[in-house]
C-alpha cells in the first residue's frame, strides 16, 4: 500500500504547521470523500493531518442574531440544530437532501464544502481528466455528461460541484472563515468555489494550507422564508440533477429581497444574481418569476445529453419561489 504520515493536530497552528511540513499533505475531517478518493488512487497524500478533533465543533448563537457553525460540526448535527431549523430551514433541508444518514453522521461542515466532483472521469484514474491531471483532456465532453454542467463550464472542464449544503450557503449570504499561515480571513460563500476556466484543478479560492474553520450565517431578514428543493434520479442517496435554494422577503406583496442559488448546474453553486435583480421590487407572479429565472438561465450552454437541466432548473426555481411567495404573503402554502 501507499504509505502516508498521520498527524493528529492539537490546535489550529499545529495543524497548519504540520501541513506545511509535509508537502502533499491533506487535512482529514470526516473522511467520507477523501478516503474514497485515496482508495481510487485519485488522492495520494503524503500525510493526513487529522483536524477532526480540533475544537471547531458546534453551533454558536451570535449577538447579531447570526450563527457560527464550527467547521468540524457533523452535517447531521447542523441539520438537526433548532436554531438552524428555525432561522434557516433551507440549510437544514439542503443537508438532509444530501448523502445518507450514515454519511451525514460522519461528514463535517468544512469537508462538505471541500468535497470533490463526482464526475466519473475524475474518479477513474485510467481516463483523461483535466481536474485530476491537468493537460490530459476532458473525458466527459465527448463521453457521458448527462450529469454535467450547463453554466460557466470551460473547454477544460464541465464538472459540477456536488454539495447541496453549499447551494444553501450561497443563497444565505453566508461567510466562510479560513485560517492559514497568513492568519485568518473571511470569504463570502458564493465566492468560495471557482468556475473551472483554465485551472479546473482548483475547486476553491482556498490557499495552500488554509483550513476552513467556520461558517457564519447572518441573522435572517425580516419575514424571510426559505426553501431547498432537489431533483434526483432516486428518492435518496443521489446527487442533484439540479437543485434550488432560495430565500425570499416580501414587502406589501412585492419582493424586498430575494436570493436564489442553483446546484447541479455548474462548477460551483450558481448564485442567480441576474434573476434576483429582475425580481427586486416586482410582484412575484408566476410570469415574473419565470421571466427572471429564464433570463438567468439564458447563458446556459448545454452539451449533447444535458439540455434537460435548463428546463429542470427553471421549473424548480419557479416552483420554489412561487411556494415561498405564497408563504411570505401569509397565504396558505400550496402543497
Q: Cβ neighbours of residue 239 under 8 Å, at least 6 residues apart?
A: 118, 147, 162, 232, 264
Q: Are 221 and 73 in contact (CB under 8 A)?
A: no
CB of 150 to other proteins, least distance (A): 12
The interface region with other proteins, picked from 90-98, 201-209, 267-275, 314-322 by CB under 8 A, is 314-322
> Could you tell me which stretch among 78-86, 194-202, 227-235, 293-301 binds other proteins (CB under 8 A)?
227-235
How far is it, in rounded angstroms, from Cα 229 to Cα 206? 28
Instruction: Assess 24 for contact with other proteins (CB under 8 A).
Output: no
Q: Rounded to whole angstroms, how far apart are CA atoms 172 and 220? A: 8
> Considering only residues 231, 265, 324, 325, which one is a binding residue for other proteins as defined by CB under 8 A?
231
Instruction: Report, in Å, the least distance between residue 253 CB and other proteins.
Output: 22
Applying CB under 8 A, does 142 fall inside the site for other proteins? yes
What SS3 class is residue 59?
A: strand
Minimum distance of other proteins from residue 2's CB (angstroms) = 6
Size of the site for other proteins (CB under 8 A): 36
Site string for other proteins, 147-186 (x = CB under 8 A): ----------------------------------------
Stretch that binds other proteins, among 53-61, 72-80, 136-144, 213-221 (CB under 8 A): 136-144
Compose the 241-270 pattern: x for residues touching other proteins by CB under 8 A, - for all others: x-----------------------------
If binding is defined by CB under 8 A, does position 41 make contact with other proteins? Answer: yes
DSSP string over 244-305: EEEEEEEETTEEEEEEEEEESSSSS-EE-HHHHHHHTTS---HHHHHHHHHHHHTT----TT
Which residues make beta-bridge pairs with 25? 47
Q: Which of 122, 112, 106 is nearest to 42 (CA)?
A: 122
Q: Give the pairing of strands 175-180 and 225-231.
A: unpaired
Q: What is the rounded distance in angstroms from the CA atom of residue 12 to the CA atom of residue 209?
A: 11
Using CB under 8 A, list all residues that contact other proteins. 1-2, 41, 100, 118, 120, 124-127, 139, 142-144, 146, 229, 231-239, 241, 305-306, 308, 311-312, 315-316, 319, 334-335
Amino acid at each position: 500500500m501507499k504509505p502516508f504520515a498521520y498527524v493528529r493536530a492539537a490546535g489550529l497552528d499545529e495543524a497548519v504547521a504540520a501541513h506545511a511540513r509535509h508537502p502533499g499533505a491533506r487535512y482529514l475531517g470526516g473522511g467520507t470523500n477523501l478516503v474514497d478518493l485515496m482508495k481510487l488512487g485519485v488522492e495520494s497524500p503524503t500525510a493526513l493531518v487529522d483536524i477532526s478533533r480540533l475544537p471547531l465543533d458546534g453551533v454558536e448563537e451570535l449577538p447579531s442574531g447570526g450563527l457560527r457553525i464550527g467547521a468540524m460540526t457533523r452535517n447531521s448535527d447542523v441539520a438537526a440544530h433548532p436554531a438552524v431549523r428555525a432561522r434557516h430551514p433551507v440549510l437544514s433541508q439542503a443537508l438532509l437532501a444530501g448523502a445518507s444518514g450514515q454519511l451525514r453522521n460522519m461528514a463535517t461542515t468544512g469537508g462538505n464544502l471541500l468535497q470533490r466532483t463526482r464526475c466519473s472521469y475524475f474518479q477513474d484514474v485510467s481516463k483523461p481528466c483535466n481536474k485530476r491531471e491537468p493537460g490530459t483532456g476532458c473525458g466527459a465532453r465527448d463521453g457521458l455528461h448527462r450529469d454535467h454542467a450547463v453554466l460557466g463550464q470551460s473547454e477544460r472542464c464541465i464538472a459540477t460541484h456536488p454539495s447541496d449544503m453549499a447551494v444553501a450557503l450561497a443563497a444565505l449570504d453566508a461567510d466562510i472563515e479560513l485560517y492559514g499561515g497568513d492568519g485568518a480571513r473571511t470569504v463570502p460563500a458564493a465566492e468560495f468555489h471557482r468556475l473551472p476556466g483554465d485551472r479546473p484543478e482548483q475547486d476553491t479560492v482556498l490557499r495552500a494550507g488554509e483550513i476552513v474553520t467556520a461558517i457564519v450565517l447572518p441573522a435572517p431578514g425580516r419575514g424571510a422564508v426559505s426553501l431547498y428543493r432537489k431533483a434526483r434520479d432516486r428518492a435518496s442517496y443521489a446527487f442533484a440533477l439540479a437543485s434550488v435554494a432560495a430565500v425570499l422577503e416580501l414587502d406589501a406583496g412585492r419582493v424586498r429581497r430575494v436570493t436564489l442559488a442553483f446546484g447541479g448546474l455548474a462548477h460551483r453553486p450558481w448564485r442567480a444574481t441576474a434573476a434576483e435583480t429582475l425580481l427586486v421590487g416586482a410582484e412575484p407572479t408566476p410570469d415574473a418569476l419565470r421571466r427572471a429565472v429564464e433570463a438567468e438561465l439564458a447563458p446556459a450552454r448545454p452539451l449533447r445529453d444535458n439540455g434537460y437541466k435548463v428546463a429542470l432548473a427553471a421549473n424548480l426555481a419557479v416552483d420554489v419561489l412561487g411556494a415561498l411567495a405564497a408563504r411570505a404573503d401569509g397565504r396558505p402554502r400550496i402543497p
